[in-house]
Amino acid sequence: MLKVEWREDLVGNPASGTIHGGVITSLVDTTSAVSVTACLPDFETIATLDLRIDYLKAATPGKAIHCRAECYRLASQIAFTRAVCYHDDPADPIAHGVATFMRESSRASMLQEPKP
């Protein structure tokens, strides 16, 4: 689980004080990646292949945003995650996210044939 404290420089809408959606996107992506690396038997580089976020409601100005993610499937080349962002209770979510990550992304790019 990771969290981002509310800060004025992260606000996307100055009139409402609501955190910018990009902050939540980064939080989901990072927390999801951490959940993948926690499941790996050895160090690997990973890369986000796909990330989908459903924004369910605006975050409350002045409150920290927590994110909890789990890697629910670790295949040989792809990892699958799901995440939830919330203030105080995961049952009252701000956003849900799902992501897929490519495993050993740096090794895969090194194995590709150079283009002429």
For 57-116, the pLDDT digits (tens) are 999 999 999 999 999 999 999 999 999 999 999 999 999 999 999 998 655 455 555 555
Task: State yes or no: pLDDT of 17 exceeds 80.
Answer: yes
* pLDDT number for residue 105: 62
Which residues span the domain enclosing 66? 2-111
Residue (of 14, 21, 17) closest to 95 by Cα position: 21
Mean pLDDT of 16-36: 95
* pLDDT number for residue 113: 56
Give counts: helices (H), strands (E), the chain.
2, 7
* pLDDT number for residue 104: 85
Residue 82 belongs to a domain with what CATH number?
3.10.129.10
Q: Is residue 20 part of a domain?
A: yes
Stated pTM of the model: 0.87
Q: Which residue has the higher pLDDT, 116 or 47?
A: 47
Structural domain total, the chain? 1
Q: Is residue 116 part of a domain?
A: no
Q: Is residue 50 part of a domain?
A: yes
3-state SS assignment for residue 13: strand
